Each structure stands twice: as structure tokens, then as C-alpha cells.
Amino acid sequence: MIYFIECAGRVKVGFSVNPKSRLTKVNADAPFPCELIGVLAGDRKTEANVHVLWAHLRCHGEWFAASSEFRKWIEENAPVPSDQKVEKGTSKICGIAVSRGDITRVAEAIGITRGAVSQWRKIPAEYCSVVSDITGHPVSVLRPDVFGNWQGGVQ
């Protein structure tokens, strides 16, 4: 699938089997919040054709200027399927919905990068209380395998 991810007035046009998952990675590496604005059925050849079609807007690599003409084309030709939609302003830590700001606050609190937090497969048990304090999710939700039904205090 061809994805269109907008970030700070630019649109990244790339190929991924799972655009929603790709958004998570791009978001982790980008200096500003990103949004999946389009998904188009196709392969790497389709991606190359889109790059040629919009070459006059190319800024760098796979990034293109988000002109009104380009955004309209994406809206008309590459609507985001419901299973790929991500609520604006949200992201996920290990499948748990949080705000993008929460990821930044978690990273700062434990002294690692946003990208490192975004790549966790499981929240390290030693950071669950920090993540819980920041996101409001109980540790039993963050790591049920470790904390089970723990509510704080005695189990």
C-alpha cells in the first residue's frame, strides 16, 4: 500500500504493508506530529509513479510539499480506510492509546528518546509506574502479565 503521511507542511509518500504501523515509526523519528492522510492500493511501482506525478513538489527524498492541489488529489484518490485511521493527536505505547505528548513526557521522565518509547514491544516493568503516572492507565493495564489486577497497595 502507498501511504501519505503529513508532517509540518510536507507529505511523505512511501510503501508499506501496514501504513498505520509505518505512521508510528515516522512519528517517532519526526520533529513534529505526523498524520496519515491517505492510503492507496499499490506496490513499489505505484509508489514510483506517484513520485513522478508529483516530482515538481519534491522537497527531499520521499517528502513533498503539501500543496492544496496535492492534498486534494490525495483526498480524492487515496482515502484512509477505517482500519488504518488513527485519531488525530493520539499515538500508542505498546498498543495502549495515549497522547503524543504523553510519549514525549515518558521519554523525558526516564531519559530516553521518543523513538525508543515508540518501539517498545512491552513496557519495561520498571517504567510502568512512570507511564501510569503520566498516562493515567493503571499498571495492571500496562503490564497485566506482571501486575495482574494490582490496584496499588496490597494485592
Q: Is the domain covering 90-147 a CATH 1.10.260.40 domain? A: yes
Residue appearing with cell numbers 485519531? 87
The residue extents of the domains of the chain are 2-84, 90-147
**How much is the average pLDDT of 35-54?**
93
Average pLDDT, the chain: 84
Residue appearing with cell numbers 512491552? 122
Is the confidence at residue 137, as pLDDT, over 70? Answer: yes
Give 53-75 pLDDT, tens digit per residue. Answer: 999 999 999 999 999 999 999 99
Give 73-113 pLDDT, tens digit per residue. Answer: 999 998 887 666 655 555 667 667 676 678 888 889 999 88
Spatial separation of the C-alpha atoms in residues 42 and 141, rounded to whole Å: 37
Cell of 111: 531519559
- What pLDDT score was predicted for residue 112? 87
Cell of 91: 499515538
Cell of 144: 497485566
- What pLDDT score was predicted for residue 155? 41
Helices 128-135/100-110 angle, 10° precision: 140
Say what the pTM is. Answer: 0.58
Is the confidence at residue 51, as pLDDT, over 50? Answer: yes
Residues 68, 9: contact at Cβ < 8 Å? no
**How much is the average pLDDT of 12-26?**
88
Spatial separation of the C-alpha atoms in residues 18 and 118, rounded to whole Å: 16
Residue appearing with cell numbers 486534494? 72
Mapping DSSP to helix (H, G, I), strand (E, B) and coil, where does residue 77 land? helix
- What pLDDT score was predicted for residue 80? 81
Task: With CA atoms as reference, report the closest residue to 26 among 113, 115, 86, 139.
Answer: 115
For residue 48, what are the contacts with CB-CB under 8 A and spacing of at least 6? none
Cell of 80: 484512509
